[in-house]
Amino acid sequence: MKRKNRPAAEGQQNDWSLAGILRRYFGCEKPFRVRPKIVGYNEGDPSSPIYEHMTKDGNEAYAKLTELLYALEKLGALDDANEVVETLDAIVSDGGY
């Protein structure tokens, strides 16, 4: 069966944010929470919260993305997947998705 390419939704054609990539290539409609959830505190300090930015589906899509990066590294198409993943992790934790 031949697979048809679906056109990107209006406004998503040029969305190269992490959220846009997870939506477009991994089928995740809502990868990030509207309001990040507090899941703990750094060293128990209430003035230093630890946030969870991604939804359950977002975490699954992100896991697929990182698996793809490590597979590309093993294939020899990517030099250092860890460096890319660290950059993506920083984007998520900084809220710049």
User: According to DSSP H, which parts of 11-55 are helical?
Assistant: 18-26
Average pLDDT over the chain reads: 89
Residue 33 · residue 55 · CB < 8 Å: yes
Number of domains forming the structure of the chain? 1
In a domain, 8, yes or no: no
> Which residues does 30 contact at the CB level (< 8 Å), separation at least 6?
55, 57, 58
The reply to whether 10 falls in a domain is: no
Task: Judge if pTM exceeds 0.85.
Answer: no
Q: Is residue 71 part of a domain?
A: yes
pLDDT band at residue 1, thresholds of 50, 70 and 90? very low
**Per-residue model confidence as pLDDT tens digits over 10-51:** 555 678 999 999 999 999 999 999 999 999 999 999 999 999
> Is 70 part of any domain?
yes
Number of CB atoms found within 10 A of residue 31's CB: 24
Would you state the pLDDT for residue 97? 86
Whether residue 5 lies inside any domain: the answer is: no
76 lies in some domain = yes
- Beta-carbon contacts of 10 under 8 Å, excluding residues fewer than 6 positions away, are none
Looking at this protein, which amino acid is placed at residue 58?
Answer: G
pLDDT of residue 69: 98
Q: To 5 degrees, how large is the angle CA 63–CA 14–CA 58?
A: 20
Owning domain of residue 64: 18-93
Which pLDDT does position 96 carry in this prediction? 84
Task: Output the pLDDT for position 24.
Answer: 96
Q: Give the Cα separation of 10 and 3 in Å (integer).
A: 21
Do the domain assignments include residue 88? yes
